[in-house]
């Protein structure tokens, strides 16, 4: 493999930053859930949203750990990224797909499902791309990380602040 999209050594600083940010946001999410647990459990859509958000942030942390492990073959790293992405997809689908009773809830759940799936899909495609050495490589992983952080920050805000409006 050639090019920045496939040279994991060129991405070390990115994954160090990602690991730190993912750990910090995961901690923030735990605080948000702890502070507002009663309110979260009162609203049928929010436990799944909290679980899916936690899953995305932990996936970003795990992805960074895999990326920072030294001397891994590209195929192994790609498989690790792909498995993490697939688990995010499955977890988002299960966590967000539970409460579909009325049209409003269905629309909200569908929106949250799509938003929750984007990071998992990008991580999975990135993993496949790294493993086969074609198709964009780590730039897909970058997209998954950025999307994951966007989802994490948005949902942490909802669970910490918006829930009390």
Please check whether residue 155 is in contact with residue 92, taking contact to mean a CB–CB distance below 8 angstroms. no
Q: Token match 């920050």: residue?
A: 153
**Alpha helices (runs of H) in 71-137, residue ranges in sequence order:** 74-96, 103-132
Residue 12 CA, chain-centre distance (Å), reads 19
Task: Output the pLDDT for position 46.
Answer: 82
H or E, element range at 142: helix 138-160
Going from the first residue of the chain to its last (165 residues), give the mean pLDDT of each consecutive group of 10, the final group possibly shorter. 78 96 92 89 83 91 96 94 94 69 58 79 95 92 94 87 81
């Amino acid at each position: 493999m050639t090019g920045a999209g496939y040279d994991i050594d060129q991405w070390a600083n990115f994954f160090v930053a990602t690991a730190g940010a993912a750990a910090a946001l995961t901690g923030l999410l735990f605080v948000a859930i702890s502070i507002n647990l009663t309110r979260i459990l009162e609203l049928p859509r929010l436990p799944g949203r909290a679980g899916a958000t936690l899953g995305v942030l932990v996936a970003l942390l795990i992805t960074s750990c895999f990326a920072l492990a030294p001397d891994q073959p590209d195929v192994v790293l790609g498989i690790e990224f792909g498995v993490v992405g697939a688990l995010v997809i499955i977890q988002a689908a299960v966590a967000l797909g539970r409460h579909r009773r009325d049209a409003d809830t269905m629309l909200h759940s569908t929106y949250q499902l799509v938003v929750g799936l984007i990071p998992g899909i990008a991580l999975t495609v990135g993993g496949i791309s790294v493993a086969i050495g074609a198709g964009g490589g780590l730039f897909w992983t970058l997209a998954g990380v950025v999307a994951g952080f966007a989802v994490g920050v948005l949902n942490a805000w909802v669970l910490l602040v918006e829930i009390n409006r």
